[in-house]
Amino acid sequence: MKNILTIATGGTISCEPSADGLIPALSGETIISLVPELKTVCRISCLELVQLDSSNLTPSDWVKMAKAVAENYDEYDGFVITHGTDTMAYSAAALHEMLRQLEKPVIFTGAQLPIEAPKTDAKDNVYDAFLAACSSVPGVFLAFNHNIHDGAYVKKTHSEDFIGFSSVNAPVAGKVENGAITWQKEYLDRHSENHFTPHYDLCEKVFLLKLLPGLSPKIIETLGALGYRGIIIEGFGAGGVPTDEGKNDFLPAIKKAIADEMTIICTTQCQNNGTHLDKYPIGILAARCGAISGENATCELLTACLMLALAEKNSPAEIRNFIADRLANPMQL
């Protein structure tokens, strides 16, 4: 039997009622004890990392999770991270970027209902997560509603429905049926060319800016004055920004920000089909100013990628090349 480490971080899965609503309270060991079928799947150890609603998690907690995996890497065959659903896609994307050249599975899971609630989805999700952790398929994944999502492509798309998450611009990595996972072939063939290398440095001065019709481009100057070093602009349609010189032309603001060594990524507000800055003037002109295309990446992955690039690379060109390389193939380990 394989040895799997559970890293508990709180979330709805661990919640109990309180005067202020549901609050994380159950330990990882308690969660595991409520899924007795796991005794026949693997040997399990538990690490209590934090006990938080995932809306209260910050990038410093991503570092704690990454370090928990790295510090126990040689002792275990795989890892399951129990986590709140609200920001689990952000954490999965972050660890996908931070845990490079993984040779083992790291599986996030959680639930839309506490594990002790009637008709909870938690027990199935936990069981599926351990199946994935025992699979030897390397990488960061998220197990939910009998789907295994690649951490690079996953997004929370349902606030309460048991579906919970979707794979965006990619098929699900695997499906669980009758206690077994059917993986997409490319994941079965996946392997790392190099040794596992964790990265912990993150620059948190990243802002996600959702455009609204009529929004003033002065917001970019304001964000620069506040010390932000990178902005992900969620533009309209294919990812463009307003360019009407008579109204709210964003091009001068983007050009000045880039001249001041701020990194600008343009992405789309649309969930599917990705960013295409080469289609209309609103995208082509932004790219000519130096904006980077978000390609098919989720905002969660762009956030993690940009935070790492700003922390690890010294020049705008290095930052740009790092992001372009990571976005060219999000499946890379």
Q: What is the tens place of the pLDDT at every residue in 293-302?
A: 999 999 999 9
Kindly indicate the confidence band of residue 32, based on its pLDDT and cuts at 50, 70 and 90. very high
Distances (CA, A) of 323 to 100, 270, 320: 14, 21, 5
Residue 222 designated active-site: no
Instruction: Give the closest residue to 73 by CA, choosing from 149, 4, 2, 143.
Output: 4
> How much is the average pLDDT of 91-113?
97
The 3-state DSSP class for residue 113 equals coil
Residue type, 55: S
pLDDT value at residue 290: 96
**Please, which pLDDT band fits residue 92 given cuts at 50, 70 and 90?**
very high
Show the beta-strand stretches assigned E in 67-214: 78-82, 99-100, 105-109, 139-144, 147-150, 154-156, 165-167, 174-177, 180-183, 197-198, 206-210
Query: Judging by beta carbons within 10 Å of its beta carbon (0-12, 13-18, 19+), is residue 96 exposed, middle or buried?
Result: buried
What are the tens digits of pLDDT across the range 164-219?
999 999 999 999 999 999 999 999 988 887 899 999 999 999 999 999 999 999 99
**Using the 8-state DSSP alphabet, how is residue 207 labeled?**
E
As a whole number, mean pLDDT of residues 26-51 equals 97
Q: Can you give the pLDDT at residue 191?
A: 84
pLDDT at 332 over 90: no
Query: Is residue 265 within 8 Å of residue 294, measured between CB atoms?
Result: yes
Q: Measure the CA dihedral 50/54/58/64, to 10°.
A: 30
| Alpha-carbon span 39 to 28, nearest angstrom | 15
Which residue among the candidates 6, 9, 12, 303 is catalytic per the annotation? 12
Whole-model pTM: value is 0.96
Q: Return the pLDDT at 330.
A: 87
Q: Where are the beta strands (DSSP E) in the chain?
A: 3-10, 15-18, 21-24, 43-52, 78-82, 99-100, 105-109, 139-144, 147-150, 154-156, 165-167, 174-177, 180-183, 197-198, 206-210, 230-235, 263-268, 292-293
**308, 199 in Cβ contact below 8 A?**
yes
3-state secondary structure of 274: coil
Token pair in block for residue 41: 């799947």
Cα end-to-end span (Å), the chain: 26
